[in-house]
Structure 1
Amino acid sequence: MTPKNLIILLSCLSFLTISAQEKKAQTKEKAKEHTTKTVDNKEIKENKDQLKTVSSTKVDTSKIKLKNIVKEIDSTSNALLDVNFKLLKKKAHASYYHQKFHGKRTASGKKFDNNGYTAAHKKLPFGTKVKVTNEVNGKFVIVEITDRGPFSKAREIDLTKKAFMEIADNKKSGVVFVTLEVVEEKK
């Protein structure tokens, strides 16, 4: 082996050693983050036990609008909602409204806001709250039915663009398979 090749080989080995050390450091940092999250979750669970609440539903979103009250929910914890979910349909096609409808009147008489959490359904009564869950990633939103549609036999529900983008993995896709559940208050 020539001295020139030896120098190249040694420099490559030193680079690989540095890369391995960097990976170990990153792994240690991730382990610290995981430990912190575990501690935080324990603290959250202890606080909930003091309030005598029972965790039953995993929540991904930061805000849910229910009965005109916005409840703040910590996305890393489980939260008890005073509602039941009645399954309406699985593997339903959901799409979103075009921007040209923004500001126009809906079938219920309300002004359409593409930045809100509303939807169109063919049969559900106006004002019905529906939990729309993306079947691929588990993300969900709760929307209020304010309009009729979609006017395509293949689709079940039209969401506002904001609601659709919150649950979609592929932001360029126009249709997502979802599970629809009607939100009912506990009695």
Structure 2
Amino acid sequence: MRFAGIVLAGGAARRMSGVDKPELVVRGSSLLAHALAALAGARPLVVAGPQRPGYPGVVWTREPVPGTGPVAALAAGLEPVTDAAVTVVLAGDLPGIRASTVERLLAALDATADGAVLLDAAGQRQWLAGAWRTAALRAAVPDDPENRSLRRTLGVLRIAEVPAEPGEADDIDTPEDFERHR
């Protein structure tokens, strides 16, 4: 299946003292490299966040006002997506994300679903690990996306839930999370 990929990689990382989380190295690769590898085959492959060296083939974009949240970053990330019927959206801080995760999300999109998201071990939807019909995603993003809730924005769509395999939905939000995954 042809799909676009967007990695949201511009957060402030307040709980990590402002470190550039997507550049943290886990198992020999940056978190951003893990996300991009999971999206192998995506066209275009977009990163919404500050441009970083060493990632060839990536289309870089940024929300008009940096730091205004994931919905604004998603809106910016959708701009270069012109002809893909499906868009996979991932956070830039997922150490356990892999190509097989993306394959399962894509497979879960059936005729009744606008999107498919990972469910973590606690049964919570992981909004930044999902595959979406691009038209539904565009329709859900408000004209003024700054400082909007991703859960509220995407939660109105018809969603298939995909149980995460162990570690797949983990993210790195704190120094303790990082130490656990190093």
Give the TM-score, by structure 2 length: 0.24
Based on CA coordinates, which of the two structures has the bigger radius of gyration?
A: 1
Whose relative contact order is higher, 1 or 2, with alpha carbons under 8 Å and at least 6 apart?
2
- Indicate the structure with greater strand content: 1
